[in-house]
Structure 1
Amino acid sequence: MTHPLLRSANARLRHSLMGLALCGLLASVQAQTQNQTQTTDQVVAVLKGVDKVSLYAKAYDNKAQTRLDPKELGFPLAVMEVDGDFLKVKLNGKEVWLDGAEVAINKAVAFNCVKDQQRPVKTASIQGASSGCK
């Protein structure tokens, strides 16, 4: 028969080991997600109407470090990290943040076409983005 204190210690040890295993699993998933972002997303252009791109030392900084002509950026730029609307990229050997509202990103987008077996209903609308679905 096992002593009650020993049973309690074994139970706490099991819970601690499960917690550590869960933390390790979560860290692994987060690292994979960040690596996926780093390898797939790219800043490919400046949006229409933006004549200078603001560079920030950190995301959501109130003041831009500098503003560059888009010709000086050298697209595409690999996205290293995303924080809300801000994108971290490496530019001339320095890590800087760009405002996502000023640039265009090349990001894979998955969507499914909706196929309906019923006859279409006439509506007062324009042809939509899914019109090319077959």
Structure 2
Amino acid sequence: MKIIKDERLKLKNLKDIRVLFLIQTIGIVGILGYDFVTKGINGMTDNPLWFVFMVTAIVSAYLSMGISVDHESSDKSPKKGLAVSLAVTVFIAVVIGILTSLSEGIPAINGVLVGAIIFVCGFVPCIYVYRLRKKTNES
């Protein structure tokens, strides 16, 4: 295969890939929806397509973060954005942890565990966006 050098063909190829990705995602969601209706939530999450769908969603979200950072104005301070993001993440993790601990029949350690997991899941994207912003400001 020859390497495509024409920009119009590259753009057309990217649009075709986008359409294929959309059709594939609709198919996966359809299969998972069918499993949800017939087997319930446990049957849906036991399907290997659930793992593929989750990984695809996470990778897509990280890739779109890079694009959104490129469109931001460069006068924003990355450290200030990191501080605000981490403060919101800590707040959400603490509130969810407390609400989980106060639930009837659930030990307090589960609330701490859920809060810690929520914090880590929010902390990683905050650091990723901070590094992207820092790299963009240095360029």
TM-score, reference length from structure 2: 0.28
Greater share of helix:
2
Bigger relative contact order, structure 1 or 2 (CA pairs below 8 A, ≥6 apart): 1
Q: TM-score, normalised by structure 1?
A: 0.29
Name the larger-Rg structure: 1
Q: Which has the higher strand share?
A: 1
